[in-house]
Amino acid sequence: MRIFVAGVSDDIFAALYVAKNDTGDDLKIQLQYQNGKGITNPEIAERIKEEYTRFQSFQIEAEQYTRYEQFFDVNFATFTDKGKGRMTFYYKSLSWENMIFLRQKTRKVKGIL
C-alpha cells in the first residue's frame, strides 16, 4: 500500500515514520488507511505533519537520504521490482541491519513493512 498523508509531500518520510513507529498491529486499522486518501487517523496524521515540519529544518546541508537515516535512526532501501525475481535499488543504506524496504514506483513509494 502507498503510505501517504495529505499535507505531507514526501512519501518516503511518511513511510519511514510509519515503519519506525510500527507497533505490530494491523496498519490499515491503526492508520485508518483509505485507498486514495492515505492515512486518515487524525492523531497519527497530525504527528507525521509535526515531525515533517521538524525534518524540514534537520541537517539541511546533508544529502536527503542521509537526513532520513539520521532523523529516524534507521537503515532503509528504496527499490523497484522488475519482475521475474529482479530488483533494482534506487537507494540502500550501507548497513543491512534492521533494514526497512520501500518499493518505489516513479515518485510514489510503497512501504513493505
Report pLDDT digits (tens) over 40-82.
889 999 999 999 999 999 999 999 999 999 999 999 999 887 7
- Per-residue buried b or exposed e for 77-97, using 16+ beta carbons within 10 Å of the residue's own CB: bbbeeeeeeeeeeebebeeee
Find out whether 22 and 16 touch, Cβ atoms under 8 Å. Answer: no
Question: Which amino acid, one-letter code, is at 56?
Answer: Q
Find out whether 33 and 18 touch, Cβ atoms under 8 Å. Answer: no
The three-class DSSP label of residue 97 is coil
Segment 3-16, tens digit of pLDDT: 889 889 899 999 99
Average pLDDT of the residues in 98-107: 80
What pLDDT shows up at residue 113? 44
pTM: 0.84
What pLDDT shows up at residue 35? 86
79: β partners: 89, 103
Segment 14-30, tens digit of pLDDT: 999 999 998 888 888 88
pLDDT at 107 over 70: no
